[in-house]
Amino acid sequence: MALAGRATAAIGDGAHVPVLVIGTGYGGSVTALRLAQAGVDVHMLEMGQAWETPGSDGKIFPNTRTPDYRSYWLRTRTKQPLSNFLGFPLDKDVPRHAGILDAEEFAGITVYQGRGIGGGSLVNGGMAVTPRREHFGSVLPSVNPAEMYDVYYPRANAELGVNHVDPAWWETVDCYQYARVGRKHAQRSNFAFTLVPNVYDMNYMKQEAAGTATKSAVDGEILYGNNHGKKSLPKTYLARARATGRVRITPLHRVTSVTRAGTRYAIVVEQLDTSGNVTATKTVTADRVFFAAGSVGTSKLLTKLKATGALPNLNGEIGKGWGDNGNVMCGRANHLWDPTGTVQTSIPTAGIDNWAAGGAFAEVAPLPTGIETWASFYLSITKNPNRAQFTWNAAANRVDLSWQTAWKQPSITMAKTIFDKINSKEGTIYRTDLFGAYKIWGDHLTYHPLGGAVLNKATDNHGRLHGYPGLYVVDGALIPGNTTVNPFVTITALAERNIERIIAEDL
């Protein structure tokens, strides 16, 4: 999985760059590419690794079924989203390492995030869903839907390499048997069922299933990266950005401070080794800084900088409007005559849409255990109205989040509008062995953190931070808590919209 141009030598202490981008996920990658195309030199800092060197098994990424030192960000024990199976706990001890998946724990929720060049694109399921236009006003009320749907969503989908599964192939291949069972049950209860696009190369998956290409999705790879087939950011936006010759990326560097320094900004950066130890502290300067560390990373950093006086003129909206995209998971135990298959591709391609009536969209998710489970598994996205706030905890020298686990109850209620009805119709029950002992709902996590520096509140309507010319937010922190679907296409399209205006007006 060679990337276009290897990660460069580390940024030097005292360096000055025209533009510094903090983070290499969707918003940062869009920003770097468009600035470079406009003739601007860009340096990107990434807290995680470059993910270019195979391990002793010859693979860059480990399998979902066998997590190892590469799997988790600076943990000594795995924290798998599905923590139990058939009554047995699944987590195990691992060496502390700068692994690919961060399970960041706050008081009321665990937030899963990708760590490495490419950010969340390395670890997500690739479901590339554009929200229905009639829902867009609730997602980004200050943004003109016409420009998004006519210009920026199409641009994002093209650049991300979004494609569709072949419906005829989907109907017959064994690796989507689980999804066809999900469809049968949804339709028998009169729910709308839809195939959704993805950034996984569906032609490659056909070859995997046929045995003519090295298996990745069909071998259960997903949670800790895909070795083949997935069009993650290093293969799309970042490859194009590097090809301009104007973009350099330094991995294993964590930003701890940004302050005003005359007409520039001074940025303090910690260099990390792969065990998470700080090996150097550097100060660099930049004319402009783009915060692209993800909803949590950007929000935590800005909250700290405002509270500690590093950037005291940030406004009172910093840290507010954070949500979990209404994520909640559950499983159903099917009858013996509804096997879901021993071979399940890890790439989901289908969902149950009950948003209009019940406030829930349920992704029919895989359980790629390699054995028959007779289980249907779902990740629901719901219209959960609860929003949390990041605050600086000076005594503990950290940023806290006010989310409460009890705030997941609206999501559970909305998801039940689908699954109570299906269970009643099919004579089935919820699985109680996936998230602990006798626990039905996976209400302890989110894959889709959103908000914390909301567009047109913490920033102007194009991501410029109030109070500081030359500081911008370009990632999921801009989106107030919910996108009604998987969020990365919306994050990408919004970044395309905003950087186009910023280049036209600010540069």
Residues designated catalytic: 363, 448
Cα distance between the two ends of the chain: 35
DSSP state of 152: I
Neighbours of 365 (CB within 10 A): 26
Distance CA 386, CA 374 (A): 34
Query: Which of 58, 103, 56, 52 has its CA nearest to residue 77?
Result: 103
Distance CA 283, CA 281 (A): 7
Distance CA 11, CA 17 (A): 10
CA torsion angle 309 43 226 430 (round to 10): 20
DSSP state of 176: G
The side-by-side arrangement of strands in the sheet containing 101-105 is: 101-105, 110-114, 445-446
Q: Is the CA virtual torsion 184, 190, 191, 194 positive or negative? A: positive
Distance CA 37, CA 5 (A): 17
DSSP state of 322: B
Distance CA 426, CA 406 (A): 29
Phi/psi region, residue 460 (left: phi>0; alpha: psi -120 to 50; beta: rest), is beta
As beta bridge partners, residue 288 has 19
CA angle 68, 376, 69 (to 5 degrees): 5
Spatial contact of 323 and 451, defined as CB atoms under 8 Å apart:
yes
Query: Which of 328, 338, 323, 308 has its CA nearest to residue 427?
Result: 338
- CB-based contacts of 337: which residues, under 8 Å, 6+ apart? none
Which amino acid is located at 481 in the chain? G
As beta bridge partners, residue 247 has 42
Query: Which of 359, 342, 447 has its CA nearest to residue 127?
Result: 447
Tokens of 48: 């995680």
